Amino acid sequence: MARLRLLGLWVVVIGVSGCQSWQIGNVESLPPTASLPATSKPGIVELRYYDDIPGRRVTDLLESPKFPDNPDEIVELTSLEVAPYRGDNYGALVRGYIIAPVSGDYTLFVSGDDETQLWLSTDGTKENLSLIAAVTGYTSGQQYTKYSSQTSPIQPLSQGKRYYFEIRFKEATGGDHFSVAWQGPGIIQQVIGSDYIYSLGKPPSNDNLTTAEAYSLGYRVGFLDSAEALTFNPEFPPQDADQDGIYDNWEVVHGLDPTSPADALSDPDNDLIVAADEFLIGTAENNPDTDGDGIPDGMEYAAGLDPLDPGDASEDLDGDNFTNLEEYLAGTAMDDPNSIPEAQLVYSAGFVGQYFTGTNFDQFVAARQEPTLDFDWRYGRPMTSMPEDTFSIRWSGEFTAPHDNGTRMYRFTLRTDDGNRLYLNRDLAINDWSDHGPANFNHTAIFQPGESVPVTVEYYEDRGGAVAQLSITDLSTGEAVSVEGTVRAPNLEYSHSLDSDVDGIPDTWELKHGLNPWSNDASQAFNTDGVSNLEAYNNGLHPWTLEPITTDGTSEITAPESSEPELPAVGTANLSWTAPGTRLDGTSILLSEIDYYEVRYGQDPESLTEIQRIDGAETTYEFDNLSPGTWYFTIRVVDTDGLESPPSEIVSHEVGK
DSSP string covering 349-360, please? ESEEEEEEETTT
Q: State residue 201's pLDDT score.
A: 59
| pLDDT higher than threshold 50 for residue 37 | no
Rounded (10°) CA dihedral 13, 17, 18, 23: 0
Query: Which DSSP helix (H) or strand (E) runs through 212?
Result: helix 211-227
pLDDT bracket for residue 582 (50, 70, 90): low
Contact 45, 601 (CB under 8 A): no
Q: How far apart are CA 521 and CA 504, in angstroms?
A: 10
Arithmetic mean of pLDDT over the chain: 82
| pLDDT higher than threshold 60 for residue 14 | no
Contact 289, 295 (CB under 8 A): yes
The values of phi and psi at residue 338, to 5°, are: -90, -5
Q: How far apart are CA 71 and CA 48, in angstroms?
A: 6
Average pLDDT over every residue of 521-539: 92
Neighbours of 499 (CB within 10 A): 17
pLDDT bracket for residue 652 (50, 70, 90): confident
| DSSP structure class, residue 194 | G
Residue 620 in 3-state DSSP? strand
Average pLDDT over every residue of 148-174: 93
Q: 258 vs 44, 242, 275, 405, 497, CA distance in Å?
A: 20, 6, 12, 51, 50
Neighbours of 296 (CB within 10 A): 22
Q: 493 vs 369, 441, 507, 558, 573, CA distance in Å?
A: 10, 33, 12, 18, 34
Contact 594, 614 (CB under 8 A): no
Neighbours of 616 (CB within 10 A): 18
Q: How far apart are CA 438 and CA 276, in angstroms?
A: 75
Query: Which DSSP helix (H) or strand (E) runs through 327?
Result: helix 324-330
pLDDT bracket for residue 655 (50, 70, 90): confident
| DSSP structure class, residue 310 | G
| pLDDT higher than threshold 90 for residue 222 | no
Q: How far apart are CA 180 and CA 81, in angstroms?
A: 6
According to DSSP, the β-strands at 487-490 and 391-400 are antiparallel
**Domain 45-199 is of which CATH architecture?**
Sandwich (2.60)
| DSSP structure class, residue 285 | T
Residue 506 CA to chain centroid, in angstroms? 18
pLDDT bracket for residue 553 (50, 70, 90): very low
User: How many Cα atoms within 13 Å fall on the side-chain side of residue 465?
Assistant: 12
Q: How far apart are CA 540 and CA 548, in angstroms?
A: 6
**180-200 pLDDT tens trace:** 999 999 999 999 999 999 888
Closest CA to 168 of 100, 115, 225: 115
Which CATH number does the domain 2-27+569-655 belong to among 3.40.50.970, 2.60.40.10, 3.40.50.720, 2.60.40.420? 2.60.40.10
Domain ranges of the chain: 2-27+569-655, 45-199, 220-330, 347-490
pLDDT bracket for residue 530 (50, 70, 90): very high
Q: 8 vs 448, 591, 644, CA distance in Å?
A: 61, 14, 8
Looking at mean pLDDT, say which of 7-21, 221-235, 529-543 comes out highest. 529-543
Q: State residue 638's pLDDT score.
A: 80
Q: 509 vs 324, 485, 495, 505, 602, CA distance in Å?
A: 30, 24, 7, 7, 21
Length of the chain: 657
| pLDDT higher than threshold 90 for residue 424 | yes
Q: State residue 570's pLDDT score.
A: 60
Q: State residue 31's pLDDT score.
A: 30
Q: State residue 586's pLDDT score.
A: 62
Closest CA to 443 of 430, 456, 452: 430
222-226 long-range contacts, CB within 8 A, separation 24+: 224/249, 224/250, 224/253, 225/249
Interior/surface letters 337-373, b for 16+ CB within 10 angstroms, e for the rest: eeebeeeeeeebbbbbbbbbbebebeebbbbbbbbeb
Secondary structure percentages of the chain, helix, strand, coil, to 5:
15, 35, 50
For residue 237, say if its preceding peptide bond is cis, omega within 30 degrees of 0: yes
SS (H, E, C) 113-150: ECCEEEEEECCCCCCCEEEEEEECCECCCCCCCCCHHH
| pLDDT higher than threshold 90 for residue 650 | no
Q: How far apart are CA 134 and CA 641, in angstroms?
A: 10
Between 21 and 172, the higher pLDDT residue: 172
Which CATH number does the domain 347-490 belong to among 3.65.10.10, 1.20.120.530, 3.30.310.50, 2.60.120.1560? 2.60.120.1560
Percent of the chain topping pLDDT 90: 47
| pLDDT higher than threshold 80 for residue 433 | yes
Contact 514, 356 (CB under 8 A): yes
Q: How far apart are CA 494 and CA 485, in angstroms?
A: 21
Residue 595 in 3-state DSSP? strand
Task: Tell me the chain's radius of gyration from C-alpha atoms.
Answer: 32
Same CATH fold assignment for domains 2-27+569-655 and 347-490: no
Q: How far apart are CA 439 and CA 288, in angstroms?
A: 61
Neighbours of 84 (CB within 10 A): 13
